[in-house]
DNA sequence: AAAAACTTGAGCAACTCACTAGACAAAATA
DNA sequence: TATTTTGTCTAGTGAGTTGCTCAAGTTTTT
């Protein structure tokens, strides 16, 4: 029941990028040094966030990364789903990546006891993370 | 952010055992067949639950497993912690297995933004799972 | 004594995680 | 235009975990 380093690093990197939002770009090594993250690994994370539309980048000498969405419009839930996949503790209660359980005898049944409990957990997690914005996240610094 | 098959199987097995609580014992193969769980794997799970004090077992011809605590006194949180370890999404917010982050620049700092958000998530998960009893779980069958 | 159960411990294939390496492409500067 | 400095892409890799299997016990009943 853990989040990966990827998510953790990604959030910490975004924290740095929030600090220069609207201003200058940050280079991978700056972020990596300040946040203590292996630079080549960080790169993969930044690229994933870029592909997801959160970051822009410029190559070459004065290149680097910058946020292209306001910190108020990015939630922790979004970031974690990009880097770690769905939030749901079991896939039969995922809203973003539902999958019927193969072996569960209640799969066919109208109501699965496990599903009910896990659904509540999923909702609780999503409720917090999908309402926690980067701005709120960054301000408690 | 997923629970393991171990937890899932464990909970489904306990569901069966709730059904005969106070009555007869259930054998591994009965549980395995009804719940579609590989029997040798299930065994490991049942033994872990036994060592944790939830189950008793009898060997030999009329042997099997039985719950020794009331379904009202067992929570999903307990079971998942036994089989999957701590609930906390990152270990620096775990109450049962706290560990300081090695690389986080905020580790020394009085307040870490990540820690605050993840702490909320942990509490939300624990709040649900530590109050969801097996009896409630079984009755929604 | 034999059979039917649980017990213990080891082993293993497949996968995931966290990271590394290297070739390549674009932008700026000299 | 050549060189340097950045990002981009793809592949690989070692360690650890997950989900299971196997085999050799031990205990209990018949």
Report phi then psi at B88, rounded to 5: -60, 135
Straight-line distance from CA B2 to C1' D10, in Å?
28
Q: Report CB contact under 8 Å: B3, A3.
A: no
- In B89-118, the residues whose Cβ lies within 8 Å of chain A are 89-91, 103-105, 111, 113-114, 116-118
- Looking at residue A42, its pLDDT comes to 98
Looking at per-residue pLDDT, the higher value among A139 and B3 belongs to B3
What confidence tens digit (pLDDT) does each residue in B29-87 have?
999 999 999 999 999 999 999 999 999 999 999 999 999 999 999 999 999 999 999 99
- Options 1.10.10.10, 3.40.50.300, 3.40.50.10070, 3.40.630.40; CATH for B5-67 is 1.10.10.10
- Looking at residue A108, its pLDDT comes to 81
- Burial readout A21-53 (b: 16 or more C-beta within 10 A, e: otherwise): beeebbbbeebbeebebeeeebbebbebbeeee
A46 touches strand D (CB under 7 A): yes
What confidence tens digit (pLDDT) does each residue in B79-135 have?
999 999 999 999 999 999 999 998 999 988 888 999 999 999 999 999 999 999 999
Is B20 an interface residue toward A (CB < 8 Å)?
Answer: no
**Contact assessment for residue A14 and residue A79, using Cβ atoms and an 8 Å cutoff:** yes
- Looking at residue B138, its pLDDT comes to 85
- Looking at residue B93, its pLDDT comes to 95
Closest nucleotide to B42: CA versus each C1': D20
Is B141 an interface residue toward A (CB < 8 Å)?
Answer: yes
Straight-line distance from CA B40 to C1' C12, in Å?
15
Q: Where are the domains of chain B?
A: 5-67, 75-132
- Looking at residue B109, its pLDDT comes to 84
Q: Report CB contact under 8 Å: A2, B1.
A: yes
DSSP classification of residue A58: E
What gap in Å lies between CA A53 and CA B89, rounded to an integer? 25
pLDDT tens for chain A, 141 residues: list them.
899 999 999 999 999 999 999 999 999 999 999 999 999 999 999 999 999 999 999 999 999 999 999 999 999 999 999 999 999 999 999 999 999 988 999 988 888 999 999 999 999 999 999 999 999 998 874
Instruction: Compare CB distances from A36 to B105, B124, B127 and report the shortest one's residue.
Output: B105
Cβ-Cβ contacts under 8 Å for A63 (sequence gap 6 or more): A25, A27, A57
**What predicted TM-score, i.e. pTM, was given to this entire model?**
0.95
Residue identified by tokens 């998530």 is B121
Is A127 an interface residue toward B (CB < 8 Å)?
Answer: yes
Neighbours of A2 (CB within 10 A): 18
User: Mutation test of the interface with chain A: which of B5, B38, B82, B89, choosing the one with the most A Cβ atoms within 10 A?
Assistant: B89
Q: Report CB contact under 8 Å: A1, B84.
A: yes
């Amino acid at each position: 029941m853990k989040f990966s380093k990827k998510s953790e690093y990604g959030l910490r990197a975004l924290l740095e990028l929030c600090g220069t939002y609207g201003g200058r770009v940050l280079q991978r090594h700056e972020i990596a040094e300040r946040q203590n993250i292996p630079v080549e690994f960080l790169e993969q994370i930044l690229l994933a966030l870029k592909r997801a539309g959160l970051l822009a980048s410029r190559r070459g000498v004065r290149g680097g990364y910058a946020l292209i969405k306001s910190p108020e419009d990015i939630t922790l839930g979004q970031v974690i789903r990009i880097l770690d996949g769905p939030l749901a503790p079991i896939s039969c209660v995922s809203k973003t990546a539902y999958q019927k359980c193969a072996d569960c005898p209640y799969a066919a049944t109208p109501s699965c006891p496990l599903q009910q409990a896990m659904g509540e957990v999923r909702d609780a997690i999503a409720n917090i993370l999908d309402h926690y914005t980067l701005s709120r996240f960054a301000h408690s610094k």
